[in-house]
Amino acid sequence: MKLHKRPPTRSRSPRAGSLVIVGTGLRAALQTTPESQHEISRAERLFYLISDPLSERWIKSLNPRAQSLTSCYARGRPRMAAYERMVERILAPVRSGRRVCVAFYGHPGVFVFPSHAAIRQARAEGFDARMIPGVSSEDCLFSELGLDPARSGCQSYEATDFLVYRRRFDPSSALILWQVGVVGNLNYGARPIRSGLRVLARRLARAYGRRHEVVLFEASVLPVLPSTIRSTTIEALPFTKITGGMTLFVPPRPHAPDSRGLRSLGLRPSDLVVVPECWRPAG
Protein backbone atom coordinates (compact mmCIF):
# COMPACT_ATOMS: atom_id res chain seq x y z
CA MET A 1 0.00 0.00 0.00
CA LYS A 2 1.31 3.36 -1.02
CA LEU A 3 1.15 6.07 1.52
CA HIS A 4 0.42 9.51 0.24
CA LYS A 5 2.12 12.23 2.10
CA ARG A 6 0.31 15.51 2.45
CA PRO A 7 1.97 18.09 0.25
CA PRO A 8 3.87 20.63 2.31
CA THR A 9 1.80 23.78 2.71
CA ARG A 10 3.30 27.21 2.87
CA SER A 11 3.14 28.39 6.45
CA ARG A 12 0.74 31.32 6.48
CA SER A 13 2.04 33.39 9.34
CA PRO A 14 -0.07 36.52 9.84
CA ARG A 15 1.43 39.72 8.56
CA ALA A 16 2.83 42.28 10.97
CA GLY A 17 -0.27 44.45 11.47
CA SER A 18 -3.23 43.32 13.55
CA LEU A 19 -6.78 44.42 14.25
CA VAL A 20 -8.84 44.08 17.43
CA ILE A 21 -12.43 45.32 17.55
CA VAL A 22 -13.83 45.92 21.04
CA GLY A 23 -17.14 47.05 22.52
CA THR A 24 -17.29 49.60 25.33
CA GLY A 25 -20.84 48.73 26.38
CA LEU A 26 -23.49 51.42 26.66
CA ARG A 27 -21.80 53.03 29.65
CA ALA A 28 -18.09 53.15 28.94
CA ALA A 29 -15.85 52.43 31.95
CA LEU A 30 -18.69 50.72 33.80
CA GLN A 31 -19.66 48.17 31.16
CA THR A 32 -16.30 47.79 29.41
CA THR A 33 -14.65 44.45 30.10
CA PRO A 34 -11.05 44.37 31.42
CA GLU A 35 -10.04 42.56 28.23
CA SER A 36 -11.37 45.41 26.08
CA GLN A 37 -9.75 48.04 28.34
CA HIS A 38 -6.43 46.24 27.97
CA GLU A 39 -6.68 46.28 24.17
CA ILE A 40 -7.67 49.97 24.15
CA SER A 41 -4.66 50.88 26.32
CA ARG A 42 -2.03 48.92 24.38
CA ALA A 43 -3.13 49.81 20.83
CA GLU A 44 -0.66 51.66 18.63
CA ARG A 45 -3.57 53.17 16.72
CA LEU A 46 -6.98 53.52 18.35
CA PHE A 47 -10.16 54.48 16.54
CA TYR A 48 -13.51 54.90 18.23
CA LEU A 49 -17.15 55.43 17.38
CA ILE A 50 -18.88 56.53 20.56
CA SER A 51 -22.22 58.24 21.09
CA ASP A 52 -21.53 60.44 24.11
CA PRO A 53 -18.82 62.88 25.23
CA LEU A 54 -18.39 61.04 28.52
CA SER A 55 -17.20 57.81 26.91
CA GLU A 56 -15.10 59.77 24.44
CA ARG A 57 -13.18 61.45 27.24
CA TRP A 58 -12.67 58.14 29.05
CA ILE A 59 -11.31 56.50 25.88
CA LYS A 60 -8.88 59.38 25.38
CA SER A 61 -7.72 59.08 28.99
CA LEU A 62 -6.86 55.42 28.36
CA ASN A 63 -5.11 56.06 25.07
CA PRO A 64 -4.26 59.63 24.01
CA ARG A 65 -3.69 58.46 20.41
CA ALA A 66 -7.43 57.83 20.01
CA GLN A 67 -9.12 59.18 16.88
CA SER A 68 -12.85 59.46 16.28
CA LEU A 69 -14.48 57.87 13.23
CA THR A 70 -17.43 60.29 13.40
CA SER A 71 -15.88 62.43 10.67
CA CYS A 72 -16.63 59.62 8.20
CA TYR A 73 -20.34 60.42 8.50
CA ALA A 74 -21.96 63.12 6.42
CA ARG A 75 -25.38 64.39 7.43
CA GLY A 76 -28.10 63.41 4.99
CA ARG A 77 -25.83 60.97 3.10
CA PRO A 78 -26.24 57.16 3.06
CA ARG A 79 -24.82 55.43 6.14
CA MET A 80 -23.29 52.72 3.93
CA ALA A 81 -20.92 55.22 2.27
CA ALA A 82 -19.72 56.28 5.73
CA TYR A 83 -19.13 52.65 6.73
CA GLU A 84 -16.94 52.07 3.67
CA ARG A 85 -14.87 55.13 4.55
CA MET A 86 -14.48 53.80 8.11
CA VAL A 87 -13.24 50.40 6.91
CA GLU A 88 -10.61 52.03 4.72
CA ARG A 89 -9.50 54.31 7.55
CA ILE A 90 -9.22 51.38 9.96
CA LEU A 91 -7.28 49.17 7.57
CA ALA A 92 -4.72 51.76 6.44
CA PRO A 93 -2.56 51.53 9.65
CA VAL A 94 -3.07 47.74 9.80
CA ARG A 95 -1.48 47.49 6.34
CA SER A 96 1.45 49.56 7.52
CA GLY A 97 2.15 47.05 10.31
CA ARG A 98 0.45 48.72 13.29
CA ARG A 99 -1.46 47.10 16.14
CA VAL A 100 -4.88 48.70 15.62
CA CYS A 101 -7.83 48.70 18.00
CA VAL A 102 -11.30 50.02 17.20
CA ALA A 103 -13.80 50.69 19.99
CA PHE A 104 -17.51 50.81 19.22
CA TYR A 105 -20.18 51.56 21.79
CA GLY A 106 -22.39 48.65 22.80
CA HIS A 107 -21.43 45.29 21.34
CA PRO A 108 -19.07 45.74 18.38
CA GLY A 109 -20.70 42.92 16.44
CA VAL A 110 -24.34 43.87 16.97
CA PHE A 111 -25.73 46.31 14.40
CA VAL A 112 -22.24 47.50 13.50
CA PHE A 113 -21.49 47.02 9.82
CA PRO A 114 -17.91 48.41 9.68
CA SER A 115 -16.63 46.10 12.43
CA HIS A 116 -17.53 42.91 10.57
CA ALA A 117 -16.46 44.36 7.21
CA ALA A 118 -13.06 45.45 8.58
CA ILE A 119 -12.41 42.02 10.14
CA ARG A 120 -13.39 40.22 6.93
CA GLN A 121 -11.15 42.46 4.84
CA ALA A 122 -8.19 42.25 7.25
CA ARG A 123 -8.36 38.44 7.36
CA ALA A 124 -8.64 38.27 3.56
CA GLU A 125 -5.42 40.27 3.34
CA GLY A 126 -3.66 37.90 5.77
CA PHE A 127 -3.76 39.99 8.96
CA ASP A 128 -4.67 38.77 12.41
CA ALA A 129 -8.12 40.17 13.25
CA ARG A 130 -10.53 39.42 16.10
CA MET A 131 -13.51 40.83 17.97
CA ILE A 132 -14.10 41.11 21.73
CA PRO A 133 -17.74 41.22 22.87
CA GLY A 134 -19.38 44.06 24.78
CA VAL A 135 -22.67 44.83 26.52
CA SER A 136 -25.30 45.58 23.89
CA SER A 137 -28.58 47.47 24.06
CA GLU A 138 -30.37 44.11 23.93
CA ASP A 139 -28.51 42.96 27.06
CA CYS A 140 -29.71 46.10 28.86
CA LEU A 141 -33.24 45.45 27.61
CA PHE A 142 -33.21 41.89 28.99
CA SER A 143 -32.11 43.08 32.42
CA GLU A 144 -34.23 46.23 32.69
CA LEU A 145 -37.49 44.83 31.31
CA GLY A 146 -36.97 41.52 33.08
CA LEU A 147 -37.27 39.61 29.81
CA ASP A 148 -35.95 36.06 29.70
CA PRO A 149 -35.62 34.69 26.16
CA ALA A 150 -35.87 31.18 27.61
CA ARG A 151 -39.52 31.85 28.51
CA SER A 152 -41.02 32.23 25.05
CA GLY A 153 -38.07 32.64 22.72
CA CYS A 154 -36.94 35.90 21.19
CA GLN A 155 -36.86 37.23 17.64
CA SER A 156 -34.75 40.21 16.75
CA TYR A 157 -34.87 42.29 13.56
CA GLU A 158 -33.82 45.69 12.31
CA ALA A 159 -37.12 47.56 11.79
CA THR A 160 -36.58 48.55 8.14
CA ASP A 161 -35.31 45.06 7.28
CA PHE A 162 -38.37 43.59 9.03
CA LEU A 163 -40.70 45.49 6.69
CA VAL A 164 -38.69 45.40 3.46
CA TYR A 165 -38.15 41.61 3.50
CA ARG A 166 -41.54 40.85 5.11
CA ARG A 167 -39.84 38.70 7.76
CA ARG A 168 -41.95 35.83 8.99
CA PHE A 169 -42.23 35.91 12.75
CA ASP A 170 -44.04 34.06 15.49
CA PRO A 171 -46.40 36.32 17.54
CA SER A 172 -46.30 33.80 20.41
CA SER A 173 -42.62 34.60 20.87
CA ALA A 174 -41.11 37.92 22.00
CA LEU A 175 -40.21 40.30 19.18
CA ILE A 176 -37.49 42.96 19.33
CA LEU A 177 -37.31 45.56 16.56
CA TRP A 178 -34.20 47.74 16.44
CA GLN A 179 -33.92 51.29 15.18
CA VAL A 180 -37.70 51.85 15.03
CA GLY A 181 -37.07 55.57 15.33
CA VAL A 182 -35.54 55.71 11.85
CA VAL A 183 -37.59 52.99 10.14
CA GLY A 184 -37.52 53.53 6.38
CA ASN A 185 -34.72 56.07 6.49
CA LEU A 186 -31.25 54.91 5.46
CA ASN A 187 -29.41 58.22 5.80
CA TYR A 188 -27.23 59.38 8.66
CA GLY A 189 -28.68 61.93 11.05
CA ALA A 190 -32.19 60.88 10.12
CA ARG A 191 -35.07 62.01 12.29
CA PRO A 192 -38.04 59.79 13.10
CA ILE A 193 -40.46 59.64 10.18
CA ARG A 194 -44.07 59.00 11.08
CA SER A 195 -44.98 57.35 7.76
CA GLY A 196 -42.54 54.49 8.46
CA LEU A 197 -43.99 54.03 11.93
CA ARG A 198 -47.51 53.89 10.48
CA VAL A 199 -46.47 51.10 8.08
CA LEU A 200 -44.83 49.22 10.95
CA ALA A 201 -47.89 49.63 13.18
CA ARG A 202 -50.17 48.28 10.43
CA ARG A 203 -47.95 45.21 9.98
CA LEU A 204 -47.83 44.52 13.72
CA ALA A 205 -51.58 45.12 14.16
CA ARG A 206 -52.36 42.37 11.65
CA ALA A 207 -50.48 39.84 13.82
CA TYR A 208 -51.17 41.10 17.35
CA GLY A 209 -54.26 43.31 17.16
CA ARG A 210 -54.32 47.11 17.47
CA ARG A 211 -54.63 47.17 21.26
CA HIS A 212 -51.62 44.94 21.93
CA GLU A 213 -49.20 46.59 24.34
CA VAL A 214 -45.66 47.35 23.18
CA VAL A 215 -42.69 48.90 24.98
CA LEU A 216 -40.23 51.46 23.60
CA PHE A 217 -36.84 51.13 25.25
CA GLU A 218 -33.64 53.14 25.19
CA ALA A 219 -30.78 52.29 27.54
CA SER A 220 -29.30 55.23 29.40
CA VAL A 221 -25.69 56.11 28.69
CA LEU A 222 -25.35 58.60 31.56
CA PRO A 223 -24.92 57.32 35.12
CA VAL A 224 -27.38 59.81 36.61
CA LEU A 225 -30.24 59.03 34.22
CA PRO A 226 -32.55 56.03 34.15
CA SER A 227 -33.24 54.19 30.90
CA THR A 228 -36.31 55.24 28.92
CA ILE A 229 -39.12 52.68 29.12
CA ARG A 230 -42.28 53.88 27.40
CA SER A 231 -45.33 51.64 27.26
CA THR A 232 -47.90 52.17 24.50
CA THR A 233 -50.18 50.26 22.14
CA ILE A 234 -49.61 49.32 18.52
CA GLU A 235 -52.28 51.73 17.29
CA ALA A 236 -50.72 54.62 19.26
CA LEU A 237 -47.18 53.83 18.11
CA PRO A 238 -47.05 56.37 15.22
CA PHE A 239 -48.08 59.14 17.63
CA THR A 240 -45.76 58.24 20.49
CA LYS A 241 -42.68 60.32 21.28
CA ILE A 242 -39.81 58.36 19.81
CA THR A 243 -36.08 58.87 19.28
CA GLY A 244 -33.68 57.45 16.71
CA GLY A 245 -31.99 55.11 19.18
CA MET A 246 -35.11 53.43 20.53
CA THR A 247 -35.78 49.70 20.41
CA LEU A 248 -39.31 48.30 20.26
CA PHE A 249 -40.19 45.30 22.38
CA VAL A 250 -43.38 43.47 21.40
CA PRO A 251 -44.43 41.06 24.18
CA PRO A 252 -45.65 37.66 23.01
CA ARG A 253 -49.30 36.79 22.63
CA PRO A 254 -50.47 34.15 25.13
CA HIS A 255 -50.02 30.71 23.66
CA ALA A 256 -51.04 27.29 25.01
CA PRO A 257 -48.55 24.42 24.77
CA ASP A 258 -49.11 21.93 21.96
CA SER A 259 -50.58 18.68 23.30
CA ARG A 260 -48.85 16.58 20.63
CA GLY A 261 -45.53 18.16 21.45
CA LEU A 262 -46.03 17.39 25.14
CA ARG A 263 -47.05 13.79 24.45
CA SER A 264 -44.09 13.17 22.19
CA LEU A 265 -41.76 14.19 25.04
CA GLY A 266 -43.70 12.30 27.67
CA LEU A 267 -44.64 15.52 29.52
CA ARG A 268 -47.86 16.79 31.08
CA PRO A 269 -49.02 20.46 31.06
CA SER A 270 -48.51 20.57 34.85
CA ASP A 271 -44.82 19.74 34.32
CA LEU A 272 -44.23 23.08 32.60
CA VAL A 273 -42.99 25.91 34.78
CA VAL A 274 -45.00 29.06 34.07
CA VAL A 275 -42.88 32.11 34.86
CA PRO A 276 -44.91 35.29 35.45
CA GLU A 277 -44.39 38.15 33.01
CA CYS A 278 -42.28 40.93 34.49
CA TRP A 279 -41.52 43.09 31.46
CA ARG A 280 -44.23 45.56 32.40
CA PRO A 281 -42.54 48.83 33.46
CA ALA A 282 -43.04 49.85 37.06
CA GLY A 283 -45.90 52.27 37.74
Partner 1 sequence: MSEASKLVAFLLALQTSPIVSKRFDRNAKKEMERFGLAPATVRAVLAQDAAALWAILLTGSGGHIAVATGVRRRRHKPKEPEPAHIAAAVGTPKRGRRRKSKAREPHQVAAVVSAPPRGRRRKPVEPEPDQIAAVVIVPKTRRRRGKRT
Catalog residues that contact partner 1 under the rule CB under 8 A.
27-30, 52-54, 57-58, 191, 220, 222-226, 228
Burial 16-32 (b: 16+ CB within 10 A, else e): ebbbbbbbbbbbbbebb
Pairing state between β 18-23 and 154-158: unpaired
Laid out side by side, the sheet with 128-131 consists of 66-68, 45-49, 99-104, 18-23, 128-131
Residue-wise DSSP of 70-119: GGG--TTSBHHHHHHHHHHHHHHHHHTT-EEEEEESB-TTSS-HHHHHHH
Nearest to partner 1 of 54, 117 (CB atom) = 54
Q: What's the closest the beta carbon of residue 247 comes to partner 1, in angstroms?
A: 17
Closer CB to partner 1, residue 50 or residue 87? 50
Q: How far apart are CA 283 and CA 119, in angstroms?
A: 45
222 or 278: CB nearest partner 1: 222
54 vs 262 by CB, closer to partner 1: 54
Does residue 87 contact residue 117 with C-beta atoms inside 8 Å?
yes
Q: What is the closest distance, in whole angstroms, from the C-beta atom of residue 29 to partner 1 in the complex?
A: 5
Query: Shortest distance, CB of residue 262 to partner 1, whole angstroms?
Result: 47
Q: Say whether 48 is catalytic.
A: no
**Number of neighbouring beta carbons within 10 Å of residue 126:** 12
Name the active-site residue from 27, 48, 73, 83: 83
Helix or strand holding residue 163 (H, E): helix 159-164
Check 27, 45, 79, 89 and give the catalytic one: 79
Nearer to partner 1, 65 or 191 (CB): 191
Evaluate whether 186 touches 158 at the Cβ level (below 8 Å): no
Q: Nearest distance from residue 222's CB to partner 1, in Å? A: 6
Among the listed residues 48, 73, 105, 208, the single catalytic one is 105
105 included as an active-site residue? yes
Three-state DSSP class for residue 271: helix
83 an active-site residue? yes
Residue 65 · residue 43 · CB < 8 Å: yes
Q: State the minimum distance, in angstroms, from the CB of residue 57 to partner 1.
A: 5
Task: Just list the catalytic residues.
Answer: 79, 83, 105
